[in-house]
A and B are shown apart, each in its own frame.
Chain A
Amino acid sequence: MHLDTFTVLAISSAISAILMLGTNHLRINLFFYCVHTLAIALETAWIAQRFHDTNLYWIAFFIILLKVIAIPKYLQWVMTKIDVESDVEPFIAAPLAMTIGVGMLGLSYLLSLQFSSLWTEVDSRMGAMAAISVFFTGVLLMLSRKIAVSQIIGFLVLENGIYLFALTQTHGMPLIIEMGLLLELLAIVMLSGLIVFRIKKSFEHIDVSRLTELRE
């Protein structure tokens, strides 16, 4: 198989997401999240220069500004404030979760064969494969982890998967929609970060699997 930049970037974003499954240490998770999002931003820029689309350059710029720099910095600040370093006893142990993640990558490949390729010169199905795999990784992160910060990180990965899918399968959505999307994501992360503070203050832990008061 001939490897071009497009495929390399897509797959490296998928693999760095899977690496997040391999450790419970939150700061390492955040580092891999930055690498993973950076790969997606570069992918955006690559498609922008390939198809001479200036809008996509702007989106790549804002992804780096917001998702690679602002959001991880904010989450790091939250983690320092509430003094949490790693996830306690996830539902699925890290090595097993990573193995499942790799299995999901294989499954994503099978799923991606269902899509028709968008471009003749580049096989965009590799992008679909990476996107579906990132999406599954995000779901797995949200399901396997217990503390609130990990849930936020899992959600971010899941959203990245959706974005990557939009990018590689539709030439990118209209600019105004993409911008709105980024802003809303930022707002969600800010708000849930604030709620994490409150949870820590009221419950003295941030293990959301123990928030079961409201069940009948």
Chain B
Amino acid sequence: MQPTPIFLDLLAVFILPVLLAIFTYINPAIGFTLRITAFAYWVELAAATNLLWPILSGQEEKLIINEYFVVDRLAAFFLVITSLVMAAALTHAQYLFDHEDSGDHGVLKLARLRIFYVFINLFFLSMCAVFISNNLGCLWMGIEATTLFSAPLVYFERSKNALEATWKYLIICSVGIALALLGTIFLFAASQHGHLAEGTLNLTSLVEQASKLNYPLMRLGFIFCLLGYGTKAGIFPLHSWLPDAHSEAPAPASAILSGALLNTALFGLWRVTQIVIASHGHHLIIRMVLVMGVITVLAASLFLIRQHGLKRMWAYSSVENVGLMVVAIGLGSAPLFLLQAINHSLVKVSLFLLSGNIVHAGGSKRLFSIHGVIKSCPVWGFLLTLATLAITGAPPFGTFLSKLSILAALAKQGSWLLVSVLLFATSLAFVAISVHIGRVLFGAPRAGFKPFYPLQTSAMPALLLVCSFVMSLVIYPAFWSFIK
């Protein structure tokens, strides 16, 4: 097949992380790597936005690269969001890692940082592969690769806890993804045993000919994919790796795990759900997705009541938001899923970066030993207040809009039980998070709390919060029309 010009452009965009990874590996001056990587991801963001603009603005439906890779509108948005998350987290990372060196062995830190930066580039590449793949097999391989490339990021601290978190992450997610593979095989078998000309894993043809698939096999395949990708996304009974990995990874990595990786897994789930929705007689399965999403939200908000770690709390809040996204997926609404994913990513990255500052300056991850942040460092305290309001879904931030839209769409379907449970759970999460953060913000300032680069380290969280605010102003009418 003749490569289209657009394919070459796209290749140029994706070659950048590869070059960065190689450069990081051979370059001994890690300080330069920190700066060039941060800069490169802003370039990446600009290039990706520029290249994908026809799709983002709706002039073109999709961009077909070849049989295996297609960029549709949802994928284009997710690519841009992932680039933004990477750029913000890595820009913040230079200040955080710069300041970290006190008391550490220089050589060891150099090696750790080098590994971190090599893998973070590969991690980004694997996430992009998931978004653009148009083949269930490629999708599966991409998601599996994200696990492999992000495990070294979780192990960055080299502590016992980090080791435990990495082991759990690797084993639980590998088994989960193995189940998704079984699901993929069932879907392949469904296409072979159905009324199709031949077996296929191509997503476009699977969705187009969904009604011709062998129904029992497809149902089985979907359930296994739900379990598998659900493990990776942190759906309730399968979320146990998520709080560990998010709290033990360094702040920029936690931000990327929460703001980009969870989206990737949910995107996989979205693709598979599309096949089921396109077939007939799917109501029971879709109902199951909705119920699972609502249970996830409820469970996460119950877990949020009793929390001891700052970053652990945000991890559970991510589980809550994943639950909402699963509900949006179950509703089969791409705009709702995207809206919730964008808003969650923006605010959660901001929160993880701020929490990284606070944990680093205070020297403790435990909620009870952090207090008086608003006096110790007013800028961080102010931003933390705003970001907390944003993540709990308070106006005037984009998350308010996305949660409201999901509730409205669910109510429109007449699922009043689910709506009321969801309302109860999100209110509970709001109260729980507010109480915990109230303790962190107020009270006597902690002795030995040393804010570092207060202004530079506030820039990225503030920028993302502004983006979230803008999201609530700009997107509103366009998105509302989708669910009317």
Q: Which residues on A are within 8 Å of B, measured CB to CB?
A: 116, 135, 142, 148, 151, 155, 158-159, 162, 165-166, 169-171, 173-174, 176-177, 180-181, 184, 187-188, 191-192, 195, 198-199, 202-203, 208, 211, 213-214, 216
Contact = CB atoms under 8 A, between A and B. Distances in A.
Contacts of B141: 177, 180-181, 184
Given A116-B193, A191-B151, A203-B160, A171 B182 contact: no
Contacts of A199: 163, 167
Interface in B155-191: 155, 160-161, 163-168, 170-171, 174-175, 178, 181-182, 185, 188-189
Nearest to B141: A180
A170 B185 contact: yes
Contacts of A203: 160, 163
Interface string B261-302: 000000000000000000000000000000000000000000
Given A173-B201, A176-B137, A184-B145, A195 B170 contact: yes
B308 interface: yes
A195 B185 contact: no
B244 interface: yes
Interface in B307-362: 307-308, 312
B248 interface: yes
A169 B199 CA distance: 12
Given A155-B174, A192-B170, A213 B161 contact: yes
B434 interface: no
A18 to B, nearest CB: 19
B192 interface: yes
Interface of B: 137-138, 141, 144-145, 148, 151, 155, 160-161, 163-168, 170-171, 174-175, 178, 181-182, 185, 188-189, 192-193, 199, 201, 243-244, 247-248, 306-308, 312
Contacts of A169: 185, 189
Given A180-B141, A199-B167, A216-B308, A162 B192 contact: no
Given A155-B178, A174-B137, A214 B189 contact: no
B148 A174 contact: no
B185 A165 contact: yes
Contacts of B160: 202-203, 213
Given A165-B182, A176-B137, A191 B163 contact: no
A188 B181 contact: no
A192 B189 CA distance: 31
A188 B188 contact: no
A177 B151 CA distance: 23
A191 B144 CA distance: 13
Given A162-B182, A203-B160, A177 B167 contact: no
Nearest to A214: B244
Given A151-B171, A188-B170, A216-B308, 5 more contacts: A116-B193, A162-B181, A165-B182, A170-B185, A184-B141
Contacts of A195: 151, 155, 163, 166-167, 170
Contacts of B243: 214
Which 4 pairs across A and B sit closest by C-beta, in order of nearness?
A: A177-B137, A166-B185, A211-B164, A180-B141
Nearest to A188: B174
Contact of A162 (B178, B201, B244): B178
A173 B188 contact: yes
Contact of B167 (A165, A174, A181, A211): A211
A1 B127 CA distance: 50
Nearest to A176: B137
A160 to B, nearest CB: 10
Contact of B175 (A155, A191, A213, A214): A155
A159 B306 CA distance: 37
A199 B166 CA distance: 10
A211 to B, nearest CB: 4
B164 A184 contact: no
A181 B201 CA distance: 15
12 contacts: A151-B171, A155-B175, A174-B201, A180-B138, A184-B141, A188-B148, A192-B170, A192-B174, A195-B166, A203-B163, A214-B247, A214-B248
A142 B137 CA distance: 25
A170 B199 CA distance: 8
B221 to A, nearest CB: 11
Nearest to A206: B167
Contacts of B155: 195, 198
A213 to B, nearest CB: 6
B167 A148 contact: yes
Contacts of A177: 137-138, 141, 201
Contacts of B174: 155, 188, 192
A180 B137 contact: yes
A169 B201 CA distance: 15
A155 B171 contact: yes
B126 to A, nearest CB: 11
A88 B199 CA distance: 46
A158 B178 contact: yes
B199 A171 contact: yes
Given A155-B178, A180-B141, A214 B161 contact: yes
Contact of A184 (B148, B171, B248): B148
Contacts of A158: 175, 178
A11 B290 CA distance: 40
A173 B155 CA distance: 34
Contact of B163 (A135, A159, A174, A202): A202
A198 B175 contact: no
A170 B188 contact: yes
B134 to A, nearest CB: 13
B175 A184 contact: no
A208 B306 CA distance: 26
A144 B205 CA distance: 42
Contacts of B151: 191, 195
A161 to B, nearest CB: 9
Nearest to B144: A184
B301 to A, nearest CB: 16
A151 B172 CA distance: 11
A163 to B, nearest CB: 9
Contacts of A198: 155, 163
A63 to B, nearest CB: 16
